[in-house]
């Protein structure tokens, strides 16, 4: 891990779970909590606020992509809408934006 390299043991995978990644022992669908949290940002933007928005947006995007991979497009839309509504400076990946067009 100190070299920046990390391998999971055979049979394990990562499942995005809001802001974290959960190590699971199979490749089955793992449900996650709804993104019903609120982050109140101050009116003054700075590098820390920008980083929080980027990290949270990326976490929600990963979960939306995970949902899409399992055919759960309605759940994926919930995460994409959360990003668009609450993290407007985060650029949503085009594959996720296509969800909202359907």
Tens digits of residue pLDDT in 2-54: 777 878 888 899 999 988 999 999 889 999 989 999 999 898 999 999 999 99
Q: Are 9 and 24 in contact (CB under 8 A)?
A: no
The predicted model gives 85-99 an average pLDDT of 92
24 vs 79: CA distance, rounded Å: 21
Show the tokens assigned to 29. 């669908």
Does the pLDDT value for residue 59 go beyond 70?
Answer: yes
The predicted model gives 50-79 an average pLDDT of 96
**What pLDDT, on a 0 to 100 scale, did the predictor assign at position 6?**
79
Other C-beta atoms closer than 10 Å to the C-beta of 99 total 18
Burial (Cβ within 10 Å: 0-12, 13-18, ≥19) of residue 45: exposed
Q: Say how many Å lie between the first and final Cα of the chain, rounded.
A: 41
pTM value > 0.85: yes
**What pLDDT, on a 0 to 100 scale, did the predictor assign at position 27?**
87
24 vs 27: CA distance, rounded Å: 7
Per-residue confidence band for 90, with pLDDT thresholds at 50, 70 and 90: very high
Other C-beta atoms closer than 10 Å to the C-beta of 94 total 7
């Amino acid at each position: 891990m100190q070299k920046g390299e990390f391998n999971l043991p055979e049979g394990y995978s990562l499942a995005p779970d809001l802001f974290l990644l959960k190590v699971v022992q199979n490749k089955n669908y793992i449900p996650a909590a709804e993104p019903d949290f609120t982050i109140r940002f101050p009116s003054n933007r700075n590098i820390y606020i920008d980083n929080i928005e980027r990290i949270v947006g990326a976490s929600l995007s990963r979960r939306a992509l995970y949902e899409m991979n399992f055919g759960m497009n309605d759940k994926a839309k919930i995460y994409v809408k959360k990003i668009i509504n609450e993290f407007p400076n985060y650029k949503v990946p085009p594959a996720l934006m296509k969800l909202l067009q359907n």
